[in-house]
Amino acid sequence: MKKLYLFFAALGVLASAACSDDDPTTPPAAPEISVGVSTVIPATGGAASIDYRIVNPAEGGGTLEVISDKEWIHSFSISPEKVEFTVDPNPAEPGSAPREATLSFVYPRAQTVKATITQAAPEVVEPTPLSFTFHISEVTPSSVQVDCTPSDPEATYVLRIIRQTDYAAYADDQALIAADIEEFRKPDWMGNPGEIAKHLITGSREDESFSLYAAGDYYAYAYGLKDDGTVTSELFKEPFTVPESPKISLSSDYPAYAPLEVPIEGGTYEIGYTIENPLDGAELTVEPAWGVEWVHDFVVSADKITFTVDSNAAAEPGGEPRTTWFNVSYPDAVSSPAVNIRQAAPTELGFDLKQISVTPSEIIVDCTPSDLKATYVLRHIEKADYDRLGSDEALIAADIEDFCKPDWMGNPGEIAKHLMTDSRKGESFSVYGAGEYYVYAYGLTPDGTATSEVEKLLVIVPESPKITLSRNYPAYAPLEVPIEGGTYEIGYTIENPLDGAELTVEPAWGVEWAHDFVVSADKITFTVDSNAAAEPGSEPRTTWFNVSYPDAVSSPAVNIRQAAPEKIE
């Protein structure tokens, strides 16, 4: 047992002095020990103390002795008010009952006092459940990079991705895990049994890559799993969204999949492009056909591809056109379109006719003869009229007859006045109705000799746009506006709209009381000022504005009539 003795001389002196005034024949009162209550000592042990007090200490002082019945309490230090001691750590099993020791307080002539010291046993520490943290580091239309960190780096686990719609089809997370395990155990294509262990990973995974095949909402998910199929955690998931794949659209003036027809002399060409669903930092690239040098100097800008085609004048006359191609690509794009190029070889005389634009009132073409010095005819005709003529020869004969007619002053016609040479860029032909037309060219000398076949370009002229105003008052009647004016709207629709064309409003010149005309996608908004200042009883004031659209059949007018104040008799 541990013992400690301490002599308190001062207490004895005090006791002697206190008794000097009493009857010397009366014996002093017996000392008493008062001990406080000790709190429960934690399992880790350490320094502890318990308070005490000596009532009626012995004359001349005395020695307090503290005895522990257990060796795990030791190193006592006694002061006048408390006993300090050291408690060893409790080696008991976690979760067991606390252990106790008894301290005996012994003082001369005093009754021994016992105090119980209680020390808790170690707590049962539950293992921390396995968990996972995610970081989606990069998402493209074709792949996702996932960082995954398990709370236990030694644990084996599964890391996968799933579409959110597929995830929702499972009754719960346990059903998804069961489906995974069933998949892991399936035999491979050679009949070898599946092994769960082949699908398990350990430790942190940085930039774990998964291939993607469709846009939409996904989860990256992970859960603890042992190679015997024991699930060791709940399922953790992190949502992410896969963007739509980019799509390259080439804006070319030749039919899809048809080659770009290049004349013999070549030149510099542009093909516009747009990228739907572009990716940050991605760029469009061009891959020319290997070993082809006559198409070169490719330059890709923000919205077009520019390149040069060399002349083919040195080729054998009458030979086959030469061809090549280049691919256009963009990261993760749905496809990489190819641009095919075909360049003519020299011939006796031929024409490259290219439609530049067509509207309900105008056809614009480029015409390039194979011989830039040859004289030729370039005209247009309705296809129905051509069909009535029946052949190219009849067309040429009708043209020559037209060229030779006298003019309005009676001067004889001259074929030479209708001939041209060299390339014609942006040649314009007026048309007056929708339908099919031919723009055609053929070689012709001033004496009327045809020097080539007729080259024809079929052009489809669209229907003219038509403006329809939607109003809540009778057609041709004015819009009746009250004296106080206000803001008004008139809806409209455009039949047969033209790309890039816009509806416009032309107010009456010099009229300022109808103003702030705004044209949106389907309505015209404007403001009419108050007419309260007009002479009472005067006639209503009127104005109008015209609504126009390029090549529209007509430009309807909107008449406005605003009342004046009534005359008060």
Domain extent listing, the chain: 5-119, 132-242, 248-343, 351-461, 466-562
Where residue 503 falls (left for φ over 0; alpha for ψ -120 to 50; beta otherwise) is: beta
Any idea which residue has 């909402």 for tokens?
217
CATH tag, 248-343: 2.60.40.10
CATH number of 132-242: 2.60.40
State pTM to two decimals: 0.43
Q: Does the fold of domain 466-562 match that of domain 248-343?
A: yes
Domain with residues 351-461, CATH architecture = Sandwich (2.60)
pLDDT tens string for the chain (569 positions)? 444 433 333 333 333 333 444 555 667 788 999 999 888 999 999 999 999 999 988 777 788 999 999 999 999 999 989 999 999 999 999 989 999 999 999 998 899 999 999 999 999 888 889 999 999 989 999 999 999 999 999 999 999 999 999 999 999 999 999 999 999 999 988 888 899 999 999 999 999 999 998 999 999 999 999 999 999 999 999 999 999 999 999 987 777 678 999 988 899 999 999 999 999 889 999 999 999 999 999 999 999 999 999 998 778 767 789 999 999 999 999 888 999 999 988 777 889 999 999 999 999 999 999 888 889 999 999 999 999 999 999 999 999 999 999 988 888 899 999 999 999 999 999 998 899 999 999 999 999 988 889 999 999 999 999 999 987 777 778 999 999 999 999 999 999 999 889 999 999 999 999 999 999 999 999 999 999 999 999 999 999 999 999 999 888 999 999 999 998 77
Task: Produce one character per residue of 210-241: b if its CB has 16 or more CB atoms within 10 Å, e if not.
Answer: eebeeeeebbbbbbbbeeeeebebebbbbeee
Q: List pLDDT tens digits, range 196-230.
A: 999 999 999 999 999 998 999 999 999 999 999 99
Q: Which architecture does CATH list for 5-119?
A: Sandwich (2.60)
| Spatial contact of 380 and 352, defined as CB atoms under 8 Å apart | no
- Whether residue 367 contacts residue 375, with contact meaning beta carbons closer than 8 Å, is answered with no
Q: What is the pLDDT of residues 324-355, one digit of tens each?
A: 999 999 999 988 899 999 998 877 788 999 99
The CATH superfamily of 466-562 is Immunoglobulins (2.60.40.10)
Residues 424, 366 contacting (CB under 8 angstroms): yes
